[in-house]
Amino acid sequence: MKEIIMNQEKLAKLQAQVRIGGKGTARRKKKVVHRTATADDKKLQFSLKKLGVNNISGIEEVNMFTNQGTVIHFNNPKVQASLAANTFTITGHAETKQLTEMLPSILNQLGADSLTSLRRLAEALPKQAGDGKAPIAPIEEEDDDVPGEFYEEQSQRAEVETQTITI
């Protein structure tokens, strides 16, 4: 019994030595480590290395078209790809621009959907300039089909046969 009391006294002395501050002080807080952007970038690069991405050189610009009529523009980006993982990474300084700002240089990059929205936007601009406060109204698509001709089916077949990825 005396041994147990002695052990408890020794334990109390050891605990008193470990305590930070005096009796009634707050417990020591856990040190919070803030991550930097470079640490996150290193972790991302390590994960991409696991996927086996390869650098693609010679790309001067990347444009991503959104549904809202804006373009996310990367000038001289670093592009990496892993075809096995179906993964493409684009790193660099991104700028969000309006479609009208980039018009002359991106006409060859626009798809069919973007061209129709661009045409609507171009038709709405003179109306807006004349009124000053007129909102852009959606314009119904015109029917330009030639009766008896099936150009869309043939073009869709041609697209399916020759699908290429351009980067």
For 27-68, how does the pLDDT look when each residue is reduced to its tens digit (9 = 90+)?
A: 666 777 777 888 888 898 899 889 999 999 999 888 888 878
- What mean pLDDT do residues 99-114 have? 71
Total-model pTM: 0.47
Query: Could you tell me which CATH number the domain at 41-132 has?
Result: 2.20.70.30
**What string of DSSP letters covers the chain?**
-HHHHHHHHHHHHHHHHH--SSTTPPPPPPPPPPPPHHHHHHHHHHHHHHHT-EEE----EEEEE-TTSEEEEEES-EEEEETTTTEEEEES-EEEEEGGGGHHHHGGG--HHHHHHHHHHHHHHHHHHHHSSPPPPPPPPP--PPTT--HHHHHHHHHHHT-----
